[in-house]
Structure 1
Amino acid sequence: MEETAQNGADEIKPVSDTLLVLSKDTNKIEMVKGVDKDGNLQKFPPNEMQESGQLIRVDKHGDLFSNFFSNFYRQLKNPSHFNFFKVSEYDAVNTAKDLQQYVDQASLEEKEKLKEYEVLPKNTNPSKNQNTMENNTETQEYRFQPEQIDWKTMEKFGLNQEKLEKLNAMDPLLRGFKTNTLIPITINLGTAVSKMDVRLSLQTADNGEVAVNLHGIRKEPNYNLKFLGHEFTDEDKKNLKESGNMGRVVDLVNPKTDEIIPSVISRDRLTNELVAYRAEYMKIPDEIKGIQLDEHQKQTLLEGKPLYLEGMTSTKGTTFDATVQFNADKRYVEFIFDNNQKLQHSQSQKEDSSQNQSQDQNKNSEPPRVFRDKELDDKQYEKFKAGETVYVSGLVDSKGKEYQGYITFNKETAKTDFSFTNPNKLKEKAQPSEAHKTQKAVNTDGKTNESTKNIKEPLQSKQQEPANKQQQEQQKKPARSRGRKM
């Protein structure tokens, strides 16, 4: 039976739940009021409850509360600084006082037991450290719902919900991210039809409606232009070209409000679009693949700088070393491997995702437009998409030297095969020589010629006429043709 409280003579009002928060910095238990526009937690002491009367109230039903808390948690600037507890609104003040008394007297082990009662956002496993690198991506509830998407606009691009789901594009879109891969779209302009590959994202417009953003491929960013008020140095350009991350926090200017926003900048490696991310929203994990980060290491990452870590353990149990750095496009700390290293370990989100994809999904994957930072032109891409071998020049190795080769898209593995020599030429070299053509034509292709048409046994290597007396006798006798005449 649902818990209720009497409110007046006839009105029965359902009892709601609310949140208490333990601030790790101050060790204080307080009432939760909300989150301000900058992501700061609004709270007040329990003894001010009568004066405030503005505590959060949420329906007690599990799904409603879970969805609310996931969205609430996502808006917080530093959620890892707090522990949240769900209590009934009518018991909130007394529970807060009792909990404060417990915290004041509790040992470290006793404080750890509080985690059993802590509220966590959806999809977070309480048995694991939610600040490890594996769980450092946005695991909270979706920012958008499918019905909010402008499907009429999507149809103009040749897309619908079913196709986006097959391309594994719906999940990142609904979470407020760009699609993980390039999506092929068609734009019908009436007089002409244009086809291109883009990354998609959703954004809430000023009128409250959800708009579809297209992130097209460009050859490279224009580093000579100011980016949101920032002028790139030679070092900035070098870092963005090589690692994809600029490597420092800079002040950017919001063009709508003129607000100065400290941010990190990265290059989208699929589209070459420059992406900025507020420094205050950066979340740095406590642990990366078994390595506990100290405060100095965390500060290095918070400043946007690269950090080299040794002795990490991959999901397969092997030890590896790599550089890690915060990426503004991905919004998390990523691995940056040296080009000479074998990529035995990929970023954990990508690794888990690729292991879960079936061969059928691979077959439906679209070939990439960019290979090793080299964008294919329309003619090359059409041949490449059709499974033909394409010659590509102007590729650059890790030492800055140019090289060229041939690429073919393998539809079975959804990967690009590269060769320094034309694989079609190798096939041509594998064709039978003149001396072997008769043998191949008769034994393999089912053809005949006048010199061997009555011989019953398969022809031997390089054989073009009867090889012995028995075959000579067979050849003299008339017999039914066993194939097409050569």
Structure 2
Amino acid sequence: MSEQTTTTPQYPEQLSDILLVLDKEKKKIQAVTGINKNGELETVDPDKKNQSQFMRVDKSGDIFSNFFSNFWRQLKNPTHFSFFKVPALEAVDTAKQMQQQVDAPTKEGESLMTKHEVKEPKGQQQENKQENKKDMETAQATPGTSEYRYKPEQIDWETMNNLGLSKEYLEKKNLLDPLLRGFKTNELVPVSLNLGTAVTRMDARLSLQPGDNGNAVVAIHGIRREPNLNFPFFGHEFSKEDKKNLLQTGNMGRVVDLTNPKTGEKMPSIVSIDRLTNEVIALRQDWIKIPDEMKGVKLNEEQKQTLVEGKPLQLEGMISKKGEPFDATVQFNADKRFVEFLFDRNVNRGQNQQSEQQQGQPQEAPRTFRGKELTDQQYDKFKEGQTVYLDGLIDKKGQKYQGYITFDKETGKTGFSFNSPDKLKEKIQPKEENKTQVAVNSEGKTNEATRNVKEPLKTGQQTPKDNKQQKQQDTPKAPAKSKGIKR
């Protein structure tokens, strides 16, 4: 119960799928639009006029699996339905073909249904038996425990290696220990998803969840553009004040009753935002553990109760590691599971995600830039705000280019330049070679000297490289034929 899953992500048509559903009793194919606060499925007719209402989901296999598992968990009476994932551009036509199969079954139609059907998530039946205690963040360890929930041999290391995450890598980065204890990694990890015909690279937090036969399944917590606060979250509708608090501090600031969609159990909980991924995270109130003192200040019962209720608390006279007194506002965070210092944080998610994820914790610089992972030496310099030179960056047409990156701790933004920022400060004229290549290959801009050249520009190229390209450049494209109305 770690995140709201009725979100309708805004993906481009070619990168998204549509969720269709067959009501087994009504024998009718519909397009899913969401789940209401009572856990009931909401649908519309799968026709063109309703396309804007269709629920769109990410095409990526692992990301969709996590989404659908949570979607299934929230749905009331999920076994009454059969679900199908189809490409957005083909949704209306595919829905018609599926309805024909429901009305008049054929072998061809059965094959179509089987191809697109989404099965009940693995381990769901086993999870349902343990629902009362493990519904909320089942992959996470109970706060305050030092015990391990998993063993290294329970992890499918072949799958992890396919994600670019070897055991040696996780141990070297000190990421394996928190995973085995049942926690999410405390930093973003570069993940590569090989889908056969395409490779997707992304930054994500990882956690382990119980799978079949006692194995551990890796969960990928990808970065969202912004937290979804406009849909009910396990029965709770966010008020204006809730949204304001979550966006400004990352914590909602009060205890609310969240509803287990299967059992109907009311669970007093606090809610926070994962500042690295924008997930909405919940934690049961009875799992909150408050320390007796913070930075030399002993907490009285009234102060402890304030923190247990999820409220912010102003503390004065604390002592820093340097021995200096300081004052700060503290609050319990559901994602971190401990009392954190706010220091006037602002986690408004309206800007670019890579910078947003840093605003709450500006010291955590991203480990990757445009799909290229930084070496340990590069990262040490980068996170301290020093300029780092990167080569081997790849533009959208597969051509290499180089440049300089700098991390701004205050804003959490990563700056990029084709020339050293130090040289720019000296007002040295920047070279155009890489600028032209990236502008044409990645940004869709036009270079007049190579307007008609069909091949991607090479590094440093600004003019046709050979006779073939010169001939292409000298032969302008024929004007498009008019599509005027015939009379």
**TM-score in terms of structure 1 length:** 0.46
TM-score, with structure 2 as normaliser: 0.46
Q: Which has the higher contact order (CA 8 A, sep 6+)?
A: 2
